[in-house]
């Protein structure tokens, strides 16, 4: 079946996580993604966090599906020529090197434009222009600089980073959107352009509601849905709000049956206003449905701690799945705290292709997260990541190099 990005060729100069998540998505949508790696070593993640000696790590395999790998020494004069040929043949160059690395290699925007004016050059950097633009950045640095860490955690503890890779994978998503948008604009203008997704900007975009709250705090000095109200105190900046919901419907994480031994026996419970009477019925506090201290959402705000404690007395009598079943019957919004073990075994996620089992010639079968974005006319089939340089000869031949030329370039150390 045809794919949405059939015919689009990507020169994938990415490494580690942020860039590879972007190009993996483009590959799943049908683009031909040619990953250029350093001869002999390759993407550093191939050897990071290995669980099997001398075999590409899960870190690498789970970020580089459906790509081809070629090894080129792009600092070698003849290697540079191969890269130039690739630039002429591809539609998009994606990179996430440290600031200035591409320029130092001799591939400035101007040079790339000379070679291929239709080329879209897409970059992940830690920061946009400004005081930190030259800094190297990893995931948690971006979470801290983008406002996520200062607003995550509990009031009485230090800033906390989240397990969701919002700096790396989040920025990869932003970059992918920028790339397909630039490809669309090119259909009208015929011109390439530069696409920049800075990790700080991507994290901040995902923390938009916290900048909303900063301005509410500046104006009123208090935010009534935060756990600091009414007993705690607010400072000048948006505080960490524990497990409070970021929206207008108060929520909290509550213990379920088995919490004493199971670290994930919890449920997220939202006291959504339209179903308040049903919540009161379920937990056996019918009188709260009409009592003036509890009947309305504003009346409940100063009493959230007491209210959630009462609801928890009920959730502690049920497993998280039993509680889900009962609450869903009444349309009460809630969600079980699922462990990675539970998610990995979830049949519905296997069925939709969100979790996929992949076979790899060196490591055997492993699980990965498939394409989370489903297109009805462009289904994703997840194929294993390439071995280092697996497609060098194939891609070189497509660029017009003869077998003799390929051998000579290999002998010279250019590929
Ligand atoms: N042939 C020859 N040289 C190559 C090459 C190839 N095929 N591929 C890369 N190189 C060279 C680069 O040109 C660069 O050389 P110079 O330092 O001489 O310019 C060098 O390899 C290293 O690149 P780097 O500086 O990007 O790599 P690093 O490991 O030192 O830094 C990282 C890694 C992630 C901190 C940095 O790339 C970065 O800040 N990237 C932007 C932000 C980003 O994406 N961060 C998220 C990473 S995921 O957690």
Report the nearest atom of ligand 1 relative to the CA of 126: 42
Residue 168 known to be catalytic: yes
Instruction: Tell me the domain boundaries of the chain.
Output: 9-205+345-412, 251-332
Angstrom CA distances, 67 to 95, 127, 187, 203, stand at: 15, 27, 25, 27
* The two structure tokens encoding residue 63: 């970020």
CA of 24 to the centre of ligand 1 (A): 19
Out of 3.30.360.10, 3.30.1540.10, 3.20.20.70, 3.40.50.720, select the CATH number for domain 251-332: 3.30.1540.10
Report the nearest atom of ligand 1 relative to the CA of 38: 7
pLDDT at 35: 98
Q: Is the dihedral of CA 156, 161, 163, 169 positive or negative?
A: positive
User: Cβ(74) to ligand 1 under 6 A?
Assistant: yes
**Segments in the chain below pLDDT 50:** none
Q: What is the C-alpha to C-alpha distance for residues 104 and 127, in angstroms, rounded to an integer?
A: 19
395 touches 70 (CB < 8 A)? yes
Q: What is the pLDDT of residues 214-270, one digit of tens each?
A: 999 999 999 999 999 987 899 999 999 999 987 889 999 999 999 999 999 999 999
Strands 120-125 and 9-13, by their bridges, are: unpaired
DSSP 257: T
Angstrom CA distances, 193 to 44, 93, 111, 123, 127, stand at: 29, 11, 13, 11, 19
User: Cβ(101) to ligand 1 under 6 A?
Assistant: yes
Which top CATH class is 9-205+345-412?
Answer: alpha beta
pLDDT at 231: 79
Q: What is the pLDDT of residues 29-49, one digit of tens each?
A: 999 999 999 988 999 999 999
User: Cβ(136) to ligand 1 under 6 A?
Assistant: yes
Phi and psi for 252 in degrees, rounded to 5?
-160, 160
| DSSP-derived secondary structure for 81-119 | HHHHHHHHH-SEEEE-PSTTHHHHTT--HHHHHHH-TT-
Q: Give all strands of the β-sheet with 266-270 in edge-to-edge order.
A: 251-255, 266-270, 334-336
Catalytic site residue from 12, 73, 168, 201: 168
Q: How many CA atoms lie within 13 A of 284 on its CB side?
A: 6
| Residues 6+ away with beta carbon under 8 Å from 329 | none
């Amino acid at each position: 079946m045809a794919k949405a990005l059939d015919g689009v060729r990507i020169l994938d100069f990415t490494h580690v996580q942020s860039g590879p998540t972007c190009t993996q998505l483009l590959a799943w949508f049908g683009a031909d993604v040619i990953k250029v790696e350093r001869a002999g070593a390759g993407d550093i993640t191939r050897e990071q966090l290995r669980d099997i000696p001398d075999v590409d790590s899960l870190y690498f395999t789970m970020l580089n599906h459906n790509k081809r790998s070629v090894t080129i020494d792009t600092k070698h004069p003849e290697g540079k020529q191969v890269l130039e040929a690739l630039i002429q043949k591809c539609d998009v160059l994606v990179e996430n090197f440290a600031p200035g690395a591409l320029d130092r290699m001799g591939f400035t925007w101007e040079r790339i434009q000379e070679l291929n004016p239709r080329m879209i050059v897409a970059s992940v950097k830690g920061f946009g222009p400004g005081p930190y633009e030259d800094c190297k950045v990893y995931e948690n640095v971006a979470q801290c600089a983008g406002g996520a860490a200062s607003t995550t955690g509990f009031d009485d503890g230090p800033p906390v980073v989240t397990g969701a890779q919002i700096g790396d994978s989040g920025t990869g998503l932003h970059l992918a959107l920028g790339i397909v948008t630039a490809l669309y604009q090119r259909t009208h203008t015929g011109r390439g352009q530069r696409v920049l997704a800075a990790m700080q900007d991507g994290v901040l975009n995902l923390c938009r509601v916290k900048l909303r709250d900063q301005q509410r705090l500046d104006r009123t000095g208090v935010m009534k849905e935060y756990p600091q109200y009414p007993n705690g105190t607010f400072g000048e900046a948006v505080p960490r709000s524990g497990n409070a919901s970021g929206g207008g419907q108060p929520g909290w994480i509550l213990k379920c049956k088995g919490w004493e031994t199971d670290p994930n026996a919890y449920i997220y419970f939202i006291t959504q206003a339209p179903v308040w009477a049903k919540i009161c019925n379920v937990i056996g506090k019918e009188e709260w449905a009409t009592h003036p201290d509890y009947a309305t959402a504003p009346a409940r705000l100063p009493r959230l701690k007491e209210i959630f404690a009462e609801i928890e007395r009920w959730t502690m009598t049920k497993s998280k799945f039993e509680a889900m079943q009962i609450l869903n019957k009444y349309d009460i919004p809630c969600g079980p705290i699922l462990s990675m073990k539970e998610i990995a075994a979830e049949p519905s996620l296997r069925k939709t292709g969100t979790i996929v089992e992949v076979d790899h010639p060196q490591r055997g079968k492993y699980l990965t997260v498939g394409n989370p974005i489903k297109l009805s006319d462009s289904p994703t089939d997840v194929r294993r990541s390439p071995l280092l340089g697996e497609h060098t000869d194939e891609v070189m031949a497509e660029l017009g190099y003869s077998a003799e030329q390929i051998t000579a370039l290999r002998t010279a150390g250019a590929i």
